[in-house]
Structures are given as C-alpha cells and as structure tokens.
C-alpha cells in the first residue's frame, strides 16, 4: 500500500466516542464497523471504556476487541473505573474526581496510541452514571467527537423523528462535537420514507441501519459465556449458532419432537439420554428442523455409555453445554441473556459488518475524521483496503472445491460482507447437504455441477479448438470438462466468471495447469510467476517468486521482477525492487550471483522507470544502516518493498522463515502474468487465507478488466 494513501494519525481530529441513547441501542455493531475502518487507516488503535460493570469478571467489549484485533494494551489501561467505585464517588458528591479519574486513564492510553475509540457505558435506566447525559459530559472532557446510536426498532418514523429532535437538543446543550448520528435497527420498509423526512440539511450525517433479526438473537457462545457453562462437546464454529427460541424438554420423546423448531436451544437435565439422542437424530433427519444446541442442567452429564456412543459419532454439529443450576433456574437465566458479539462468532461478525458498511458511508465518515498522510501500512490496514477495493466493483469468482468445508465457510463470510459474487462447482445435492449440515447461509450462491451443466459442450468445444494442435479430440475435451479445475478455468476464459481460486484440496499443478493451457500469459509477460504479500507489523512487503519457478534463468528472473513490481503497484505498494543474492554490489563472484547481475541489466533495459537494484543481500535491502555501508546512495537498499529471490529454494524457505520467526501474515501465493486471474491455495489454508485470496483475485480481475 502506497504510503501516501493513508491519513496521518498526528493530524486527526478528536478521537471518537460511541454511545447509546438508550438501552439495547446496538452500539456494539457500530463499534465493530468503526474499529474495522480505523484499523485500515489510523495506525495504532486504542480502545477505551469510561466505566465497566464491577460485577463482571472482565468487560465483554474490551475482551472482544483485545481478541479480534490482538491489541498489546493491558486490560487495566482500557477502562476508566469500575461501576462500584463510580457510584461511591457520585454518592459522596465527588463528581469531578470521577471525571478526573476517567480522564487521567484515558490520557495515559492516548499517549500510547495514534487514535482512540471510546465506547460509552451500558445504559441502565435510573442509574445516572450509565445514562446519555453522563456520557456526553465524559466525551467533552476527553475532547472526543461523539457518535450517538439510537435504537429505531418498534418505533414509527414520527417517533424516531421526535427522539432525534430530543437528542439534537441534548447535544446542543452539551455543545457536543458530533461526527455522525446512527439510527439503528429500523424496519426496512420505513427506511426510504425516513430518509425523505431527513433530507433537509444537518450539521452532521444521519445514517440509518436496518434491523436484522439474526443479530438480535443470542448465540451459543453468548449462552456459554453468560452462564459460565461447561462446554461438553463443541468446536469453535458451533458456538456461533444463533438461538431463535429455547425449549425446556421435560416430556417424552414423541411429544418433544412435535415441538421442535429450527434454531431451538434445548434445555434438559443431563440424565435425559433419550432427549439427547433424539436431538442428535432429529438434527440429521430431513424430516425435522435443525436445533442450535443442547444445554444440560443440574450439573449432570449423560451416562458413560451414552457419552461413548456420542464420541464415536465424531464432531457434533451443534454445541452441548452444561449448567450447574436446575432446569427452571437455567431456563430463566437463558431468557435474560441478550445477543452480544462473541469473538468465536465469525458469521455474526461478518453479517454485522456487511449490514453496517452497506448502510453507513464510510468514505464520508473518514473524511470527517482525517486529514493528512500516514507513514505506516499495518496488516489490518492492508486487508481493510483490499476489502474496500474489492467491494467497490464486485467481481464474479468461481470456487471449484464446492464441497470443502473451509471453502463454504469462506464463501459465507464473503457473501455476508457483500464482497464478490460466488459460484461453487460440484454436485449440487452434495454441496447443499454440506451447507445445511454446517448450518451456513448461502442463499445467493450459484452452484454448478460440471457433470450435468448445459455449459459443458460449449466449454468442451472451446477447449478442443484451443488444443487441437496438441492432438486433443473433442471426446477428450468433453471428458476433461467434468473436472472442476478445467470447468472453472473455461468459465473465466469465456467470460462466465472473472477469476478462480482453488487448491484447498487440489495440488498446485491441478489448479494452474488448465490456466497455462487455456488462459495463458498476458502480453508482455514471458512466464507465469507468483508473489506473497508479507504483512509485517508496520509494513507490507512483496516476495517473489516463492511458489512456481524452481530455477529461473536471468531473463525469467527479470520478468519475475517486472511482474512483481507491477503487482505491488496495483496493490498500492510503491515498488522498490531488490534483486537478492549472496553478495551485494560488485563484491561477489560465481554463477548464481552473475545470473542476478544479468537479470538486473535485462530488467533495467526493459523497464528503466523502475527503482530496481541488485545483486544485494537481504540485510542490505531492509536495513538502512547496512545499506549505507554496502550500497551508499542507493534508492532501493535499506527500504526495499519488493524482494526477488534467485530461485524457488531460497524464496520458499525465506518467506516461511520470516513468517514463522516474526509472526508475519503471508498472503498468497498470488499468481501473476496470466491473462485472467487464477490463484492457488495451500492445502493447509485457513478460512481467512481463502477470504484474502478471493479478495485479491477480485482486485486482479478489476485490473484485468480495466486493461481490456
């Protein structure tokens, strides 16, 4: 990312203070979207709450932010004081002392950060330290710009306007500096009429976020956290299941089954083996809805034989939790648990971000917050910028491995964030069964079975025409189109999709061979090569080629350098290319270093506009002090952004060494040089790896489209 594309934390206006105007405002999802945006543009982000609940072991929002954004700030630094201390100071009329305490802790945090996002206290009617007036005063004391969040559910538009008028009056009384107001959870059929009523000029933007009932529902993770329940059987993903209602199962199995509904949390004593087994069987039966989970009460677990039986089934499709309290008490507690963001709930996080980002003009908001330039590009900044670029002009990406769980989970996140259009390849019944068994929501995804698709003859003919000079006959071409990699490649070649990502279960060769045969290299590219984006703590570097070409010639090395520089530039990283070897400058001799010298000459002749130098050792490329000694006056040495390795052995080992020793995030390999984008995944890839690769592929597709 070009260093000139970001804003300067030192030139930011005041930090932001998000607070609800009443109970259940939904400020946490606004907080999430703002945190996501800020990590993309504001350097080191601090998170601060003026008051936290003394009754909780730790504040949920601080825990959530610390986990998701891996902040290195101490927990104690991220809040002003606890509620019991605040009440005591208020009762003793030491109100100024309370504000001073909050301000001193805030300033200590602010000194360590480029920007601080503050989240007001949780609203509790009748308790002054939790109400809006208190938060408005705190925001003023902290010199923060306010972002009030109103709850619009169960109100008509006239009531919303009245509430907004009252809010504006209060903000005026406190002389608050308002960056924006958010009206949250508005019924969708009210939004356009409400926008029309709000069309007159205002001192600040007013954003409307629609209601999403699934975000209003607690998850199994919420239940586990709120009850401090034991996790008897679950993986992380099962804790993200939303609970639409809860059922106390105290009847016989036949009657129990009559009452089952999708999304049920079944609450039953731990010794009710019949209910436990019936729940498992019902989940897998197409004749019954799928429950969200089981909550076993009374500090009881199933009998050993039942536990052994269940253990033999492998991973359970839903979470089984255990509560120490009796069934009635547990049910009463569950009924009071609100929906909250949970760090393990990737689906709800993606859904919340997609909802808010589609409703709030983040570019407008950012312009109201920033001016100037920044000097850093953190991994979060890089990933956020990629996401926003991909969303700006949605592309159609085909994922051939449609039955793979990681692919499906990534597809759901991409769909919820509204980043790309997705087509999955494979047997449709098998894919839909897998989607159902994982309780994923992919209503808009397209599924194509190459075996039965009406496109298969068309693709076979196109492949035959392209490869008949290699003695391919139509029958062979038709058979090849049953292969998902070939089918997906022809989708791109003939314009049915813009890019392809594969390799979670297929080999690199299986993924890219069809692209070599059909899509081929773009004009000016001699070979296909690859790069990794190495996301370090405060910058993103480009490494090439670490995945495709084992021992490139000097000509090929020059082409890799030029392609890598162009790739870097297309992702807003200013290319300063270091051609690496075991010696720097003219000091070394030998065949390997001579190859690099020749590659440098070829690359400079082909692209004199590039800042490109070599050969140089890695330390000279990254360390300005070393560079001053070994290559004084160099434009590249000491601050290189693109690193070209002399061979695959060196490149692959180096990127893995840097990744493991520094904690860097390695995004890739990203293929370059093809006419249209096809990217390969590692077979050990994670869901975030797939998401990032799809986003990069979409951006490559935008570039490819623009070049046509």
Same domain as 572, residue 440: no
What torsion do the CA atoms of 53, 56, 58, 61 make, to the nearest 10 degrees? -60
- Across the chain, mean pLDDT equals 85
Residue 140 binned pLDDT confidence (cut-offs 50, 70, 90)? confident
> Is residue 399's pLDDT more than 80?
yes
Name the more confident of 312 and 147. Answer: 147
- The model's pLDDT over 86-124, given as tens digits with 9 standing for 90+, comes to 888 888 888 878 888 888 888 889 888 888 999 988 766
Q: What is the DSSP string of 196-249?
A: HHT-S--SS-EEEEE--HHHHSPBHHHHHHHHT-EEEE--GGGGG-B-SEEEE-
Q: Are 645 and 654 in contact (CB under 8 A)?
A: yes
> Is residue 393's pLDDT more than 50?
yes
Domain that holds residue 159: 3-212
> Is residue 12's pLDDT more than 80?
no
Residue 10 binned pLDDT confidence (cut-offs 50, 70, 90)? very low
**Once rounded to an integer, what is the mean pLDDT over residues 113-137?**
76
> Is residue 229's pLDDT more than 80?
yes
> Is residue 4's pLDDT more than 80?
no
What's the whole-model pTM score?
A: 0.69
Determine the pLDDT at residue 371.
45
- Is 681 a member of any domain? no
Residue 497 and residue 475: Cα distance in Å, rounded? Answer: 25
**Once rounded to an integer, what is the mean pLDDT over residues 306-314?**
79
Determine the pLDDT at residue 489.
93
**Once rounded to an integer, what is the mean pLDDT over residues 519-537?**
84
Residue 380 binned pLDDT confidence (cut-offs 50, 70, 90)? low
> Is residue 40's pLDDT more than 70?
no
- Is 368 a member of any domain? no
- Is 556 a member of any domain? yes
- Is 21 a member of any domain? yes
**Once rounded to an integer, what is the mean pLDDT over residues 378-401?**
83
Same domain as 46, residue 90: yes
- Is 12 a member of any domain? yes
For tokens 């077979």, the residue is 683
> Is residue 13's pLDDT more than 70?
no
Name the more confident of 380 and 558. Answer: 558
Same domain as 293, residue 150: no
Measured CA angle at 103 (ends 98, 104), to 5 deg? 100
Same domain as 182, residue 73: yes
Assess whether the previous peptide bond of 545 is cis (omega < 30° from 0). Answer: yes
Residue 6 binned pLDDT confidence (cut-offs 50, 70, 90)? very low
Residue 347: count of CB within 10 angstroms of its CB: 21
Same domain as 39, residue 82: yes
Same domain as 225, residue 207: no
Last residue of a domain, one of 162, 178, 212: 212
* Residue 284: CATH number of its domain: 3.40.1390.20
- The model's pLDDT over 605-654, given as tens digits with 9 standing for 90+, comes to 999 999 999 899 898 888 888 888 888 888 888 889 999 999 999 988 99
> Is residue 2's pLDDT more than 50?
no
**Once rounded to an integer, what is the mean pLDDT over residues 318-335?**
89
Distances (CA, A) of 355 to 111, 125, 201, 370: 33, 28, 25, 24
> Is residue 72's pLDDT more than 90?
no
- The model's pLDDT over 49-68, given as tens digits with 9 standing for 90+, comes to 999 887 767 888 888 888 88
Residue 555 and residue 602: Cα distance in Å, rounded? Answer: 7
Determine the pLDDT at residue 42.
63
Residue 240 binned pLDDT confidence (cut-offs 50, 70, 90)? confident
Q: Are 414 and 420 in contact (CB under 8 A)?
A: yes
Domain total of the chain: 4
Determine the pLDDT at residue 374.
41
> Is residue 8's pLDDT more than 60?
no
Residue 128 binned pLDDT confidence (cut-offs 50, 70, 90)? low
Same domain as 414, residue 301: no
Radius of gyration of the chain (CA): 29
Determine the pLDDT at residue 129.
55
Q: 666 is written with which tokens?
A: 């390695």
* Residue 558: CATH number of its domain: 3.40.50.10750
* Residue 512: CATH number of its domain: 3.40.50.10950
- 97-106, 201-210, 476-485: which has the highest mean pLDDT? 476-485
């Amino acid at each position: 990312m070009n260093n000139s594309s970001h804003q300067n934390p030192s030139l930011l206006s005041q930090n932001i203070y998000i607070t609800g105007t009443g109970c259940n405002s939904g400020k946490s999802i606004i907080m999430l979207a703002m945190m996501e945006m800020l990590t993309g543009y504001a350097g080191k982000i601090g998170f601060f709450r003026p008051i936290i609940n003394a009754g909780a072991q730790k504040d949920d929002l601080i825990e959530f932010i610390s986990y998701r954004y891996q902040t290195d700030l101490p927990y104690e630094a991220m809040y002003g004081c606890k509620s019991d201390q605040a009440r005591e100071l208020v009762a003793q009329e030491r109100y100024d002392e309370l504000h001073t305490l909050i301000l001193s802790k805030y300033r200590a945090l602010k000194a360590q950060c480029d920007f601080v996002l503050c989240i007001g206290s949780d609203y509790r009617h009748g308790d002054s330290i939790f109400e809006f007036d208190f938060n408005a005063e705190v925001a003023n004391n902290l010199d923060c710009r306010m972002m009030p969040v109103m709850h619009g559910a169960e109100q008509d538009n006239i009531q919303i306007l009245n509430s907004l008028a009252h809010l504006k009056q209060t903000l005026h009384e406190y002389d608050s500096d308002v960056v924006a107001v958010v009206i949250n959870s508005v019924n969708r059929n009210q939004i356009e009429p409400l926008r029309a009523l709000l069309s007159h000029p205002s001192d600040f933007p007013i954003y409307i976020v629609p209601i999403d009932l699934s975000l209003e529902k607690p998850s199994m993770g919420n239940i586990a956290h709120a009850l401090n329940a034991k996790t008897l059987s679950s993986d992380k993903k099962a804790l993200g299941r939303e609970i639409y209602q809860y059922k106390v199962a105290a009847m016989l199995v036949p009657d129990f089954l009559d009452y089952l509904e999708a999304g049920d949390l079944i609450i039953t004593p731990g010794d009710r083996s019949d209910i436990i087994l019936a729940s498992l069987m019902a989940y897998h039966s197409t004749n019954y809805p799928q429950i969200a989970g089981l909550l076993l009460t009374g500090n009881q677990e199933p009998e050993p034989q039942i536990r052994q039986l269940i253990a033999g089934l492998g991973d359970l499709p839903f979470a089984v939790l255990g509560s120490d309290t009796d069934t009635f008490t547990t049910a009463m507690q569950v009924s009071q648990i609100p929906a909250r963001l949970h760090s393990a709930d990737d689906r709800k996080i993606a859904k919340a971000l997609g909802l808010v980002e589609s409703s709030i003009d983040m570019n407008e908001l950012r312009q109201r917050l920033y001016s100037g330039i920044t000097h850093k590009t953190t991994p979060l900044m890089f990933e956020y910028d990629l996401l926003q670029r991909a969303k700006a002009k949605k592309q159609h990406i085909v994922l051939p491995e449609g039955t793979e769980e990681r692919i499906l989970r990534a597809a759901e996140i991409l769909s919820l964030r509204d980043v790309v259009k997705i087509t999955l390849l494979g047997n449709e019944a098998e894919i839909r069964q897998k989607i159902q068994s994982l309780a994923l929501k992919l209503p808009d995804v397209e599924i194509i079975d190459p075996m039965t698709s009406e496109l298969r003859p068309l693709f076979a003919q196109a492949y035959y025409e392209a490869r008949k000079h290699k003695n391919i006959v139509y029958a062979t071409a038709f058979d090849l189109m049953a292969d998902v990699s070939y089918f997906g490649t022809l989708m791109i070649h003939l314009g049915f999709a813009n890019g392809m990502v594969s390799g979670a279960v297929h080999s690199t060769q299986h993924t890219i061979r069809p692209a070599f045969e059909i899509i081929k290299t773009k004009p000016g590219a001699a070979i296909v090569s690859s790069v990794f984006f190495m996301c370090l703590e405060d910058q993103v570097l480009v490494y090439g080629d670490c995945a495709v070409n084992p021992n490139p010639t000097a000509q090929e090395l020059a082409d890799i350098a030029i392609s890598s520089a162009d790739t870097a530039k297309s992702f807003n990283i200013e290319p300063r290319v270091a051609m690496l070897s075991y010696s720097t400058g003219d000091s070394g001799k030998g065949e390997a270093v001579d190859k690099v010298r020749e590659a440098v000459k070829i690359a400079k002749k082909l692209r004199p506009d590039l800042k490109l130098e070599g050969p140089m050792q890695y330390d000279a490329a990254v360390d300005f002090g070393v560079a001053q000694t070994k290559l004084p006056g160099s434009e590249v040495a000491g601050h290189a952004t693109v690193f070209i390795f002399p061979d695959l052995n060196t490149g692959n080992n180096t990127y893995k060494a840097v990744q493991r020793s520094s904690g860097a995030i390695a995004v890739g390999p990203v293929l370059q040089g093809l006419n249209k984008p096809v990217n390969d995944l590692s077979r050990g890839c994670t869901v975030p790896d797939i998401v990032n690769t799809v986003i990069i592929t979409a951006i490559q597709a935008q570039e490819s489209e623009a070049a046509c």
